[in-house]
Amino acid sequence: MDLRLLEIFCRVYKERSFSRAAKKIGLTQPTVSVHIGVLEKALGTPVFNRLGREIEPTEAGRFLYEQAEPLVSLKRNLIEKMATFLNRLEGSLMIGASSVPGEYLLPKLMTHFHVEHPGMKLRLRISDTADTIDDLRHGDIEIGVVGEQLPDKDLLFESFWSDSLVLLVPTTGPWQGRTQVSLRQLHELPLIVRETGSATRTSLERALALRKVKLADLNIVAEIGSMGAIREAVRTGGGASFVSQISVATDVQAATSHLARIPELGVIARTYYTVASRKRVLTPLARAFLDYLRQVAASPRPARLRVARSAAKTSRGRKG
């Protein structure tokens, strides 16, 4: 029995879905289904009941997972311990991040780090804060960078980067030259917001709540999960949006959009955090990259801002 088949089986067992498992391990859904079929043929029994889009393990599947999961963990631990023994920074490291640090901070930092450690392959999974922390809890990533810290004793959060939420508005039509909006006027503006689970949305809801305003009471015209799509929607006059300042630096500089103040809200400060699990021992690769992020966090503010501007330009070039 191929150990790789057991690894795939354990992932499908945890996800209860062929498609979600395929996404997590970087394969296509048909490939995962074929591998499970090969495993079932070798065992001579089904390991999952197919119930439409959902699946449930059979009794044989539950027994197999109890026996196989320790073997899969043993392989992973063996690789990590050998790397430690040989003192090598080689191999692959999976990092997770919410959208803003994932799109506008980490790509440039990962490039810098790779120059110093060419034997390491860094892989970045971008989602929202809630999904990133969920991936960390399940062991799908080793390090996360997110926009909010949670009261969870099993997770270690460390401050990484300071930012603020700003109101981005179009430069055309009725928005032209508008640099200030009152809290009352905010109720009338077409507003584009991030999805539930986003730390950007949570920070906005918290700031509004201090002024006795609910996000649901505003004129929300769209809910979008991509920062790039939000920037484009604002640029083309679709509405205004509260966004992280580092994500729109190039838009403001190029005058494709501009910022408007809301005096009653003041500065809506936010912080990005690195997060790791206290229950798992970090691999040498993860420790090295986390130490590098700590050095970046401790560097003088001007140096950090240069990294942010450079990362924003890189992101803008990628999006065309």
Q: How far is residue 222 from each of residues 65, 127, 130, 208, 274, measured CA to CA in Å?
A: 43, 19, 20, 18, 30
- Number of Cβ within 10 Å of residue 50's Cβ equals 11
Report the 3 state secondary structure along 161-212. Answer: EEEEEEEEEECCHHHCCCCECCHHHHCCCCEEECCCCCHHHHHHHHHHHCCC
Q: What is the CATH number of the domain that holds 37?
A: 1.10.10.10
Q: Please give the Cα distance from 71 to 41 (Å, whole number).
A: 20
Handedness of CA 210, 211, 212, 217 (dihedral sign): negative
4-37 residues labelled b (16+ CB within 10 A) or e (exposed): ebbbbbbbbbbbebbeebbbbeebeeeebbebbe
Looking at the structure, do residues 176 and 313 belong to the same domain, yes or no?
yes
Looking at the structure, do residues 181 and 298 belong to the same domain, yes or no?
yes
Burial classification of residue 229, based on how many CB atoms lie within 10 Å of its CB (0-12 exposed, 13-18 middle, 19 or more buried): middle
Looking at the structure, do residues 180 and 300 belong to the same domain, yes or no?
yes
At 24, phi and psi to the nearest 5? -70, -35
pLDDT value at residue 168: 92
Looking at the structure, do residues 42 and 178 belong to the same domain, yes or no?
no
71 is in which domain, residue-wise?
3-86
pLDDT value at residue 301: 59
One-letter amino acid of 308: A
pLDDT value at residue 294: 93
pLDDT value at residue 307: 55
- Number of Cβ within 10 Å of residue 144's Cβ equals 28
∠ Cα 263 173 315 (to 5°):
75
Q: What is the CATH number of the domain that holds 311?
A: 3.40.190.290
Looking at the structure, do residues 266 and 300 belong to the same domain, yes or no?
yes
* pLDDT tens digits along 125-163: 998 888 999 999 888 899 999 988 888 899 999 999 999
* pLDDT tens digits along 254-310: 888 899 999 998 888 989 999 999 988 888 888 889 999 999 988 875 455 555 555
Domain count, the chain: 2
Asked whether 259 and 252 are in contact (CB, 8 A), the reply is: yes
Looking at the structure, do residues 11 and 133 belong to the same domain, yes or no?
no
Asked whether 163 and 245 are in contact (CB, 8 A), the reply is: yes
Q: Please give the Cα distance from 207 to 262 (Å, whole number).
A: 12
Q: Three-class SS of residue 93?
A: strand
Handedness of CA 217, 219, 223, 228 (dihedral sign): negative
Which of 86, 107, 141 is at the close of a domain?
86
Looking at the structure, do residues 195 and 131 belong to the same domain, yes or no?
yes
pLDDT value at residue 138: 86
pLDDT value at residue 190: 92
Q: Which residues contact 92 (CB under 8 A, 6 or more apart)?
A: 120, 121, 122, 123, 285
Looking at the structure, do residues 82 and 27 belong to the same domain, yes or no?
yes
Q: Determine the angle formed by the axes of helices 59-86 and 3-15, rounding to 10 degrees.
A: 120
Looking at the structure, do residues 20 and 145 belong to the same domain, yes or no?
no
Looking at the structure, do residues 70 and 125 belong to the same domain, yes or no?
no
Which of 42, 67, 86 is at the close of a domain?
86
pLDDT value at residue 75: 85
Low pLDDT (below 70) residues in the chain: 1, 80, 83-88, 301-320
Asked whether 125 and 135 are in contact (CB, 8 A), the reply is: yes
pLDDT value at residue 320: 33
Q: Please give the Cα distance from 108 to 308 (Å, whole number).
A: 8
Q: Please give the Cα distance from 106 to 277 (Å, whole number).
A: 19
pLDDT value at residue 38: 93
270 bridge partner residues? 163
Q: Which residues contact 70 (CB under 8 A, 6 or more apart)?
A: none
pLDDT value at residue 84: 62
Looking at the structure, do residues 58 and 34 belong to the same domain, yes or no?
yes
Which of 86, 101, 136 is at the close of a domain?
86
Looking at the structure, do residues 242 and 148 belong to the same domain, yes or no?
yes
